[in-house]
Structure 1
């Protein structure tokens, strides 16, 4: 195997590793979001801090946190969802075979012939560019998810302070 093909496979392998790690981060974000929502629900129960916000402004950061948790959780789930790019699959399949979505449409004898050509470097290069785009989008979604969930936690804390201060209850 020539050096450029070997380097391309190493780059592709690194991208696969990064994609797997961002999926793990998205799983963490979903767990964090679930815990935040569970906390919000628990604190909204009878005789809890958010049960009777009354005429306070606590409802504003409270509902802001609800929206932030929903959007943050959605982004984390969207990041971890498979990115199959099925609309482009048929057109791309004729020149690509590294991605399983492309390879599934090839006949084994034609794939064997394609693998024996010097075009493997170009196919790998296209796959590296496609993987880079997918990994970039996943990282952006997870990053935004974590920031939104964090903002939701802060907003919920502010709501608790306002609610506790206006009800005469001690701070949480």
Structure 2
């Protein structure tokens, strides 16, 4: 991983080891995590839009009496409703992935302990924040923020992964229901 950071512009020593300030390295890690989190949100938004559209279309077709399944064929009806339920679960996973995460645990016990989390920054007086930024060692706060952001990014990516998997299974069930007419 340190080697990949070197490829992004961090200086190296002659021996191939990193010659970076730990705070600079931490900021680069934090920026990478922010980018990764944003990509997970974009994927989840896409998944939610596609799955919601499919569910709405299915609802419109079903209410118009043109459902893809054959009501006389029991398996077709079961596949239709199972597919719809699985798609809905996938949409819920996508929605959970894009939902803001404002948990307070692991961010520091008090707002004046954290100068990185926007939920705590909103409580700071600008003059006191300036003084804290000039005098405070940010590495402990930044290290905690990196760990918290890593957990959030991991959770988002897992939810997106589940959403896509459920979308594939739900779509397959709906396709089978349509074939069994």
Could you say whether these structures have the same fold, taking a TM-score greater than 0.5 normalized by the shorter chain as the test?
yes
Tell me: higher relative CO, structure 1 or 2? Use CA pairs within 8 A at least 6 residues apart. Answer: 1
**Which secondary structure state, in structure 1, belongs to the residue aligned with residue 84 of structure 2?**
helix
After superposition, the Cα gap between the structure-2 partners of 1:84 and 1:146, relative to the gap in structure 1 and judged at 3 Å, is same
Q: Which deviates further from its counterpart, 113-122 or 66-75?
A: 113-122
Counterpart pick for 2:179 among 157, 161, 165: 161
CA RMSD of aligned residues (A): 2.2
In structure 1, which of residues 110, 113, 124 is the aligned counterpart of residue 142 of structure 2?
A: 124
CA distance in 2, matches of 1:100, 1:75: 25
- Give the alignment's TM-score, normalised by structure 1: 0.83
1:91 aligned counterpart, secondary structure: coil
Structure 2 distance, partners of 1:18, 1:47, is 42
Could you tell me how far 1:118 is from its partner in structure 2?
Answer: 5.1
Contact 1:15/1:131 (8 A) holds in 2: yes
Name stretches of at least 5 consecutive residues in structure 1 with no aligned partner. 165-172
TM-fit CA distance, 1:96:
1.2
**Distance in 1 separating the partners of 2:61 and 2:142:** 52
**Which of 48, 56, 64 pairs up with 2:82?**
64
Give the Å deviation of 1:41.
Answer: 3.1
**Separation in structure 1 between the aligned mates of residue 110 and residue 149 of structure 2, nearest angstrom:** 14
1:54 aligned residue? 72
Q: Any idea what the Cα deviations from partners look like across 1:109-162, whole Å, max 9, x if unmatched?
A: 432332223521111101111111111111111110111111100010111122
CA distance in 1, matches of 2:26, 2:118: 17
Whole-Å separation in 2 of the counterparts to 1:12 and 1:92: 21
Deviations 1:33-59 (A, max 9, x none): 023214423543335543x42143111
Normalised TM-score (structure 2): 0.79
Change (3 A) 1:155 1:92: farther
Q: Number of matched residues? A: 161
State whether structure 2 residue 73 is matched by structure 1 residue 73: no
Matched-pair contact (CA < 8 Å) for 1:89–1:101: no
Q: Which runs of 5+ in 2 are unaligned?
A: 1-19
C-alpha distance 85-40 of structure 1, shift in aligned 2 (>3 A): same
Aligned to 2:23: 5
Q: Which aligned runs of 4 or more in structure 1 are off by greater than 6 angstroms?
A: 87-90
